[in-house]
Amino acid sequence: MKTIRYISYHEFGDMMRRLIGEVWDFQPTHIYSPPRGGLPIGVHLSHHLGNIPFLSGTGFPNFPLSLKEALSMRVLFADDIVDHGRTLERFVEQTIPYHNYWGLCFMSCSLLVKPGARIKPDLWIETVPDSEWIVFPWEDPVAAEKEEKEYQNY
């Protein structure tokens, strides 16, 4: 049985300040955040790191030729939580050719990580027990509880 942990906006703000401090030295030129959970984190990071371009989509976006030529591109993958690690794992698999063939630089980050995740991001703010279901402040608590039950069957 999972316990539910509700993250407040205040707690989210504290985590984001710490995350911004951690990724600042990476100097990303672009941010990619997977929908849905990653969107608030990605937009927040984009705004606080100088309005750098924000990429989103269900799979890692294909770069237009002009971006493929921009070898100084530094992409930051940002998500709210790495639970099982499936999303981050897909990101890594899909970006290997960009890294290997074009030398593009990637870094991954997350606010929260669970110990049971198959893959961990390069950096994260807090490790939470596998037994916790996290509800962020922008989520509807009733819908989040229903989603948690569906997620367990995934």
pLDDT at site 73: 78
Q: Is the pLDDT of residue 60 over 70?
A: no
Contact at 8 Å (CB) between 4 and 145?
A: yes
Domains of the chain as residue ranges with CATH: 3-152 (3.40.50.2020)
Whole-angstrom distance, CA of residue 104 vs CA of residue 82: 23
Q: What is the mean pLDDT of residues 11-17?
A: 97
Tokens of 92: 């890594």
pLDDT at site 66: 44
The model's pLDDT over 95-154, given as tens digits with 9 standing for 90+, comes to 777 766 666 788 999 999 999 999 999 999 999 999 999 999 998 877 666 665 655 555
DSSP reduced 3-state for 77: strand
The model's pLDDT over 64-101, given as tens digits with 9 standing for 90+, comes to 434 454 566 788 999 999 999 998 998 888 777 776 66
Contact at 8 Å (CB) between 103 and 7?
A: no
